[in-house]
Amino acid sequence: MARNLEANQGQIFAHHVTLESLQLANQAGCYICTEIAEDLEEEPDLKEVDCGLERPLLWQIHRGTSLRVYVAYGKGFKLHQWSYTAVDSSDLPFALKRPGPLHERIDSISREIPSYTGSPAVGALGLKWLNRCLQIHDRCRPQQSLRQTYPRRLLDVNFESPRLTLQKYLEGPVDFAAMSHCWGTTPFLTLTQNLMPRYEQEGIHLAELPQNIQDVIQVCRWLQLRYIWIDSLCIIQSGPEAYADWAYHVKLMAKIYATATVCISTAAASGANENCFRTRNTRPLEPVVVMFDRKPHYLISLSHTARGFRNAPVASRAWVLQERLFSRRILTYGKKQVFWECCETHDLNVCETFPHGLNCDVTARGPFSLPEIPREAAFRSKSNAYTAWIELVETYTQCKLTRRDEDKLAAFSGIAEAVAELVGHPPYVAGFFAPELPIALGWSIHEDHIPQSRPFVRSGIYRAPSWSWASTDAPVRLARWPGSVGRNIYVQLISHSCTPVTTNNEFGQLLSAEITIRASLVPFLWTEDTEYCSIRFLDPLSGAATWPFALYHTF
């Protein structure tokens, strides 16, 4: 059906009435049906429905080169959509421009993709991407101020048993990789103070290491990098000096990833004991050609690269946001294939299917589907600066933390410090910049995540004051910068005070925080029933109840 977009333009088709029919098309090798079937298999609602799809898949071809597929299923009405576009052959990857029949050129690509992401051939492709970037990408080079920034410890993978190497023993600047991964909930080998001398002298036997770390060491060797930084093995996790070492690295974390030659993200693994390499069906990775305007076009899923990361376990980890934003190059081992992103190719969808990239607007932000760290060009006005800041905070609050109280502000501290440098170093107050206050106190929790009761204190560790977004574990929506809302503010910030746990890191964990504000008292009406409660402010003159927006009026 999708082979000739031009002939079917503007039409809507009902196709695959049952899940069984869809699976047969999947087994037959249909590119679209394979992607849809794999996505639907992960839907819990669909697994509960014995009869399969309750409604047929609806296929719509419109605007010439666009295809959308819809399905509604499950109890009630749940809509799922897949979107595709057709790219002109002039934009096809270099491999498709080789001489010879088109089908032979496509077959040559599919044969080049191994069925296992842990194949040395995949590692060789990663090395090719890295070397090309190092040779010709000026934008990917680190800032001069970061060239002498190195972590206290690195793992030397030139030894059969990787050896812990202290910074003082390194002979000048060295290239190193940094790992981005999920720890998981199962215990695994980490760096402790009593084991550190042994790891420095004898190294760590590979068999002692969890599988995910064994895999990333292999990738590091394929990339021909001698050193790698892994948080669990380069930060002391247990012993008298553990907290001080952790606090030191929290302050340095953003610079570690900004200085690293490449960040290796084991996105497919949900924990350290899980293999990051995957056996996969390479058929969906093959280019699919459709005809439009009598010319071959390549059919591409609009979520093509995002599928490699967005639903991966590592994507929801709070520390990863910072790691992703500051890394200059990222090699991601996803469930289906391996992706490459750097400062110059982040929008080219570079992966095993498109090893040279694809110069078209397939995804807005590349495979990671996370915002870029704001650069100086975005901060020509305070309004623009704080809009970008708000987006970062809101993205961060959607992520998960294992140590919620200790890490809530710490895992975001590198981002906060970077933004502070760009906006003139305003005071930082428990997750806010002082110029945001008091309007920023109007943050709210997304409706779907409002708790039914007040959360109990999980530990004796102080996290943040109740007026800060950092005090909650739910996704939040922040109040916008006052200059953009066009209203007068009748609340005044009088003073603020924060005491950080570590004196040289105002952006990290706190001991205490307080603010003093001045405002007029306004009468309000509180009503509630079994499900909802509401607040309406009373006009002091008429006594009539108004919406909360009246707070911005003159009384």
Q: pLDDT tens-digit profile of 271-284?
A: 999 999 999 888 77
> pLDDT per residue over 492-502, tens digit each?
899 999 999 99
pTM: 0.83
Mean pLDDT throughout 125-150? 84
Using the Cα atoms of residue 86, residue 90, residue 92 and residue 98 in order, give the sign of their dihedral: positive
DSSP 8-state symbol, 404: H
CB atoms within 10 A of CB 468: 21
Angle between helices 413-422 and 382-396 (to 10 degrees): 170
pLDDT tier for residue 366 given thresholds of 50, 70 and 90: very low
Beta-sheet strands, E only, within 175-266: 176-180, 227-229, 262-265
CB atoms within 10 A of CB 244: 11
pLDDT for the residue 191: 96
- Residue in 261, 363, 364, 367 with CA at minimum distance from that of residue 314: 367
Mean pLDDT throughout 19-44? 76
Left, alpha or beta for 410 (phi > 0: left; psi -120 to 50: alpha)? alpha
Q: Give buried/exposed letters for 282-303 (b at 16+ CB in 10 A, else e).
A: bebbbbbbbebeeebbbbbbbb
pLDDT for the residue 447: 74
Classified as helix, coil or strand, 400 is strand
pLDDT tier for residue 550 given thresholds of 50, 70 and 90: very low
- Range from 155-169, 183-197, 376-390 carrying the lowest mean pLDDT: 376-390
Q: What angle do CA 224, 227, 229 make, to 5 degrees?
A: 130
Using the Cα atoms of residue 314, residue 318, residue 319 and residue 325 in order, give the sign of their dihedral: positive
Q: Do 36 and 53 touch, CB atoms closer than 8 A? A: no
pLDDT over 70 (residue 547)? no
CB atoms within 10 A of CB 6: 16
Classified as helix, coil or strand, 473 is coil
- Range from 7-16, 150-159, 244-253, 515-524 carrying the lowest mean pLDDT: 7-16
pLDDT over 70 (residue 78)? no
pLDDT for the residue 219: 98
Lookup: tokens for 497? 């005070």
DSSP 8-state symbol, 385: H
- Alpha-helix runs per DSSP H in 77-208: 102-112, 120-136, 196-201
DSSP 8-state symbol, 353: S
Half-sphere exposure of 136 (CA within 13 A, CB side): 6
Residue predicted with more confidence, 504 or 124: 124
How far apart (Å, rounded) are the C-alpha atoms in residues 31 and 36?
A: 9
pLDDT for the residue 461: 85
pLDDT tier for residue 121 given thresholds of 50, 70 and 90: very high
Q: Give buried/exposed letters for 510-519 (b at 16+ CB in 10 A, else e).
A: beebebeeee
How far apart (Å, rounded) are the C-alpha atoms in residues 327 and 396?
A: 17
For residue 329, list its beta bridge partners.
342
Amino acid at 75: K
Lookup: tokens for 264? 């290796």
Give the N- to C-terminal CA distance of the chain in Å, as an integer.
Answer: 65
Amino acid at 380: R
pLDDT over 50 (residue 314)? yes
pLDDT tier for residue 379 given thresholds of 50, 70 and 90: very low
pLDDT for the residue 177: 97
Q: What is the DSSP string of 83-112?
A: EEEEEEGGGS-GGGGSSS-HHHHHHHHHHH
pLDDT for the residue 55: 56
* Beta strand 176-180 pairing with 153-156: unpaired
pLDDT for the residue 197: 94
How far apart (Å, rounded) are the C-alpha atoms in residues 321 and 367?
A: 13
Mean pLDDT throughout 356-368? 53
Q: What is the DSSP string of 20-49?
A: HHHHHHHHTT-HHHHHHHHHHHT-HHHHT-
pLDDT tier for residue 231 given thresholds of 50, 70 and 90: very high
What are the Cα distances from residue 385, in Å, to 26, 377, 423, 508? 47, 10, 7, 21
What are the Cα distances from residue 334, in Å, to 167, 192, 219, 268, 370? 32, 30, 14, 5, 16
pLDDT for the residue 303: 67
pLDDT for the residue 371: 41
pLDDT for the residue 122: 96
Q: Do 412 and 435 touch, CB atoms closer than 8 A? A: no
pLDDT for the residue 276: 92
pLDDT tier for residue 481 given thresholds of 50, 70 and 90: low
> pLDDT per residue over 33-46, tens digit each?
887 887 777 665 55
Lookup: tokens for 307? 């599928």
Mean pLDDT of the chain: 78
For residue 67, list its beta bridge partners.
61, 84
pLDDT for the residue 275: 94
Lookup: tokens for 154? 């690195």
Q: Do 230 and 213 touch, CB atoms closer than 8 A? A: yes
For residue 60, list its beta bridge partners.
12, 68
pLDDT tier for residue 521 given thresholds of 50, 70 and 90: confident
